[in-house]
Chains A and B, each alone.
Chain A
């Protein structure tokens, strides 16, 4: 799995090929948005894969392209967006050129979505029951009774009591945490092989967040669903995922198994993010290590390392060439770790 030096990230996975255990494979994805004065380069060559039953965390700041990457996979993008390159394999099947009808089926059956804001993702005029049942009635050709029965079962699964009564309620009758549970039930109802959760707990309070995280962990154990969890909160992922992808300026800057990210972070950006989280033992008055500068300008497509202007370890090469993502030494053999940085950790000063 060693990357060759010449490629653009395309052949990174060639060695393993389309392995059957891979649920999702993304190669060199690029997405941009048309703006009034040029393009916003949101995703700039992203490649990653997901095993069956795996839980992947995608972390980055607003505008780093984490959501757009995932929305590009299932083509859930506004008209101003344009996917300029990339291949997406779901269950070994190339879906990057799938028709609109096929994509409808994929979004309806194969991939479930949970969004950040449960207040706006539910239709306020439609009862919970119909909103849940609608999808499987259409895609799985279930009868109304059967679809509602299924909906009830999934409401029970996500911990909503009196599920039969809840089916007849409107979204406003539920609290924020409850609505997010409904969204989760909706995402799971078609028994998808992949669930994409886009900051599902950001709009919720910490105690409710803990409830939802616990619920998703439980569900994953029971149903063995593959999950991609998008967030800006690195601490949240520590107790949850198998592997983490760190994004910056529309690119993956680091990708590693859980232990590696927290114990052996390599990219200066990841290190900076981890350090800027206030620690338990930090005494009052101590300054927090912070990352200087501001997030990147997305109107310019990066040709050199996008983090270089904020990086303390940059060398001349960082401002000339974009670093390829490469394998680095791991703490344990079973781990896996890739970083896009020209400067080795040992050589930083």
Chain B
């Protein structure tokens, strides 16, 4: 991380280690994303409550939850693999933190390294992998069911999601110029959602994000009413707080990624900034409304949905996008 900041930093001051550390830990890395994430998870609960005709929690609720969990006792099951059990939440958190820094770096300074979109796609898998690791280390039959479901869910949504980003890369290839096709800063100047294939890809990616966040209808791995918390059932105290922090940060980072890749990104001043924030809130509210208007599906239904329906739609979108770029038809 430091290396590319040094290479691409705007001024000499950017290059000192302290500045890099500030960039990663405070703004716009850990602290900033955490505060935004806690506010976003409050928004999720508040909007859900309003949809259900309730009042909902006060705005500091997610903060109080995390603080309370940090102050509680940590229980580690007797048969658990202690090292993996403790390390897994930290691995997941650091993956999300890294992703946040890469995305903010691209959004704010418009500088990046070649292929950062590929790096971001890989980093997005880390939290799910950490969940799988942590829950399989916790030696609980409920967690084992959660693990197997999370694994199947990852297997099913990764394919359509990767294809959705392939669509974006094909759509924007002509506009961004040769050598920058995999460059997120260049891609975020275009808005591929304004075409048939781009719109298909955006909707599919939105549903994949829903599954990645573990929201209804794809909260199969965590389903509280049948496997009692599934993947995080054995976690308590500060370790559970780390999972909650990770989920809150994902709530910022994943919609931000969609905004940058599909919807034309962020500005840093004035109206472009407000417009960017508006797009982020739009994506977040779409996710919340999908969450509140659907029942939980079974794992086999989810796999069928992602592989056959989303997969087919994405293959069609790739073909459309390729035809569009071959014949110069923008709206395809």
Q: Is chain B found bound to chain A in the same assembly?
A: no
